[in-house]
Amino acid sequence: MTIFSRLAVGVALLAFPERIDAHRVPVERPNLQWGPKSPGHAFPHSPKRHKTCYVPSCGSNDAPEILKAFKRCNRGGTVVLNEEYVIASPLDLTFLESVDVAITGTIKFTNDIDFWVVNSFKYDFQNSSAFWRFGGKDWFNLIANSSDILVSDIDIAVKSESKNPAKNGDGWDTFRSDSVVIQDSYVNNSDDCVSFKPNSTNIIVQGMQCNGSHGISVGSLGQYPAEYDIVENVYVYNISMSNASDGARIKVWPGTDTPFEPGLSGGGGAGYVKNVTYDTFYNNNNDWAIEINQCYGQSNQTICDQYPSNMTISNVVFKNMWGTTSKKYDPKVGTLTCSSTEKCVNIAAKNISVVNPSGRIPQWICTNVDESLLDINCVPATS
């Protein structure tokens, strides 16, 4: 299951420290602020909220009542979800304008996989789907599908109730979005904790606790030959990452379309990753503390060498990182593997004190990167 959030100007997701009074008193809008890092400019003014819509839970399918509440409180209201809700049908909220969402209860989706396969919202560009989507005014007219968004104090858990693991369970994805802050939240899942998809710019992620994920990831990018993907000006700060495949991660596809898994292939797209910083990052039992991969989805090194990525990665900084990796690659703790020196420029690592469980000298695989900028113990991939 992928929770794919599409938010527009004037929409805010809010989490209150206490469950809102069941007597349904008017909700005082919290003064949420980003911090300590900021996107560099103030968000546009959003009008005062003048009405509140509470949603009663029926215990079966609450989607119709939630939809009614958003229609009643659209254009200047607050929708309060303070009970336990079950979503058994797709919920399309792409009409929102100047509305807050106060989530103090619990939202669960039914496990009827056959139903969701047919009825969910499809996003073929990422081979994923969604059961609930947000959107707002001028969605199709904006250069960025979402802008000026603050997401704060939201907990997300993705788990399977069967013997089969959950798939594609990203916590937060940004796509064609500008000026987004995601902060002070907890994600327990099995895919990217936060992922910056194509054309994400001016993004802040801070104060996050992630467990069981694939890290905080740039990408994947360059999957489609006709597309030009951009991720620029991203700051990831004060992160605790546990039991993950990766901590800080950048993943781009090779320079030609290649098979990835049955029914899915990718590669050949172009674009760039620029001005990305991972700062103050704790690793606990992650397989890789840092991973840069410019041949994502392809294990055949011959193809990687023959078709280097069309994506350029530049001005990336990893700093103030510590903790202990898992045993999986011990004594190696990270990999920075680029397709060519021209495609990876100005990649720096500073104040890195990540160790491995064995206590041996930590090793970092470094390929086609300027090792003079890396405050780590680089070794070749063949070591």
> What pLDDT score was predicted for residue 139?
31
Tell me the CA distances in angstroms from 211 to 105, 162, 166, 333, one per residue in order.
Answer: 21, 19, 14, 18
pLDDT for res 156: 83
Percent of the chain with pLDDT over 90: 56
Within a domain: residue 184? no
Q: What is the pLDDT at residue 260? A: 75
339 lies in some domain: yes
pLDDT range class, residue 330, cuts 50, 70, 90: very high
- Best-predicted range by mean pLDDT (3-12, 133-142, 267-276): 267-276
Q: Which domain holds residue 363?
A: 192-383
Specify if 370 maps to a domain: yes
Is the residue at 185 inside a domain? no
- The single residue listed with the structure tokens 């801070």 is 206
Q: Would the pLDDT of 51 be above 80?
A: yes
Q: What was the pLDDT predicted at 359?
A: 98
For residue 146, what are the contacts with CB-CB under 8 A and spacing of at least 6? 6, 7, 8, 174, 176, 177, 178, 180
pLDDT of residue 11: 43
| Mean pLDDT of the chain, nearest integer | 85
Residue 292 lies in a domain: yes
Q: Kindly report the backbone phi and psi dihedral angles of residue 198, in degrees, each rounded to the nearest multiple of 5, phi listed first.
A: -50, 135
Confidence of residue 167 (pLDDT cuts 50, 70, 90): low
Please give the tally of structural domains in the chain.
1
CB atoms within 10 A of CB 153: 17
Per-residue pLDDT of 60-105, as tens digits, reads 999 999 999 999 999 888 899 999 999 999 998 888 888 888 888 8
80 neighbors 107 (Cβ within 8 angstroms): no
For residues 368 and 39, the model is more confident at 368
Please report the pLDDT score of residue 130 as a whole number: 76
- Concatenate the DSSP letters of all residues of 284-327 into one string: EEESEEEEEESSTT---HHHHHHS--EEEEEEEEEEEEEEEE-S
209 belongs to a structural domain? yes
CATH number at residue 265: 2.160.20.10
Which of 86-95, 104-113, 147-156, 349-358 is the least confident region?
147-156
Q: Is residue 115 part of a domain?
A: no
Which pTM was predicted?
0.79
pLDDT band at 31 (very low <50, low <70, confident <90, very high): low
Residue 250 included in any domain: yes
Model pLDDT for residues 171-193, shown as the tens digit of each residue: 888 888 888 889 999 999 888 99
Residues that are catalytic: 214
Residue 144, pLDDT above cutoff 70: no
